[in-house]
């Protein structure tokens, strides 16, 4: 069983030196709080008071939530609970749905290179290792206008034990024998990775061709037979074959009357669950 000695607090001064004040500075502000309800909610509520590239990290959350307001929690200091406030001047609002997918690219690359685990993206906003969820991502538009402000939150299970996991389909970096479990190291890498992704996307004038290509390369959902659970209880089965220019998953459907597969493209907000099936 892990103890507080095994789970040291984040070193906010070192994080600020590396990310805000140092020669590789890419963030305007980094804060760490011992406990809060939701880091996303805190940044959304105070959006008018925060500069672009503000990061807020909590050692513990008691009201964390993901897609469709699903709650999640974990033992203090056993996770990375991080929210980022970012501004996107001149972006086409139609491509804002790519933000959690962009964050997923940065997170998967960090976990692969730093933690040395075989992380893959599960559409639209989960990160899996060996088919089990290690991280989730949630993006919320906090302010509209010519320079939309978006808050992107993510949670990573770092040192959680099997007994501490909320469901059997979850995992943690510790359980996957990751090469690095130091949360300071992981936070630095994640924030640098996200900043680099934003810079690259901005430099492409918010084009999605390269972003979509890189997402597809990391997405383990493509090629899987899946079950799509729609609001109202309707289920559909098919094979995920692509992610389109709008960030929607494209599925070749089964059991259609036309004699050939029908194609269904669904957005994240239109799906309750998307599960792989055998």
DSSP helix/strand/coil, 48: helix
For Cα atoms 59, 65, 69, give the angle at the middle one, nearest 5 degrees. 170
CA diameter of the chain: 63
Whether 53 contacts 152, CB under 8 Å: no
> 95-133 burial string, b = 16+ CB within 10 Å, else e?
bbbbbbbbbbbbbbbbbeebbebebbbbbbbbbbbeebb
Q: Residue 68 pLDDT > 50, yes or no? A: no
Q: Which residue has the higher pLDDT, 63 or 1?
A: 63
Residues in the chain: 278
Helical residues (DSSP H) of 170-255, grouped into ranges: 183-203, 209-218
The answer on pLDDT for 4 being more than 60 is: no
pLDDT at 260: 62
What is the tens place of the pLDDT at every residue in 140-194?
999 999 999 999 999 999 999 999 999 999 999 999 999 999 999 999 999 999 9
* Segment 217-221 mean pLDDT: 98
pTM: 0.93
Mean pLDDT of the chain: 92
Secondary structure class of 257 (helix, strand, coil): coil
Return the percentage of the chain with pLDDT > 70, whole number: 92
Pair 117, 171: CB distance under 8 Å:
no
Residue ranges in the chain assigned as alpha helix (H): 12-16, 39-45, 99-113, 183-203, 209-218
Q: Is residue 28 within 8 Å of residue 52, measured between CB atoms?
A: yes
Q: Is the dihedral of CA 73, 76, 58, 84 positive or negative?
A: negative
Q: Give the pLDDT band (50/70/90) at residue 259.
A: low
- State the Cα angle at 31 between 27 and 32, rounded to 5°: 135
Residue 65's pLDDT band (cuts 50, 70, 90): low
């Amino acid at each position: 069983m892990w103890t507080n000695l095994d789970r040291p607090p984040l070193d906010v001064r070192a994080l600020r030196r590396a990310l805000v004040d140092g020669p590789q500075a890419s963030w305007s502000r980094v804060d760490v709080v011992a406990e809060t309800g939701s880091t996303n909610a805190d940044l959304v509520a105070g959006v008018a008071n925060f500069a672009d590239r503000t990061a807020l990290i909590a050692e513990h959350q008691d009201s964390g939530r993901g897609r469709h307001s699903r709650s999640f929690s974990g033992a203090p200091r056993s996770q990375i609970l991080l929210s980022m406030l970012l501004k996107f001047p001149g972006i086409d609002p139609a491509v804002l749905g790519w933000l959690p997918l962009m964050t997923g690219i940065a997170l998967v690359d960090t976990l692969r290179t730093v933690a040395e685990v075989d992380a893959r993206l599960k559409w639209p906003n989960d990160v899996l290792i060996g088919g089990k969820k290690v991280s989730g991502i949630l993006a919320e538009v906090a302010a509209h206008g010519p320079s939309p402000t978006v808050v992107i939150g993510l949670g990573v299970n770092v040192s959680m034990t099997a007994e501490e996991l909320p469901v059997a389909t979850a995992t943690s970096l510790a359980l996957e024998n990751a090469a690095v479990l130091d949360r300071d190291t992981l936070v630095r890498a994640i924030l640098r990775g996200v900043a680099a992704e934003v810079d690259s996307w901005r430099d492409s004038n918010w084009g999605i061709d390269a972003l979509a290509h890189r997402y597809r390369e990391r997405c383990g959902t493509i090629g899987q037979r899946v079950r799509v659970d729609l609001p109202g209880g309707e289920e559909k089965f098919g094979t995920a074959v692509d992610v389109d220019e709008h960030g929607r998953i494209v599925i070749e459907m089964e059991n259609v009357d036309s004699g050939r597969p029908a194609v269904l493209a669904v957005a994240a907000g239109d799906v309750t669950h998307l599960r792989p099936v055998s």
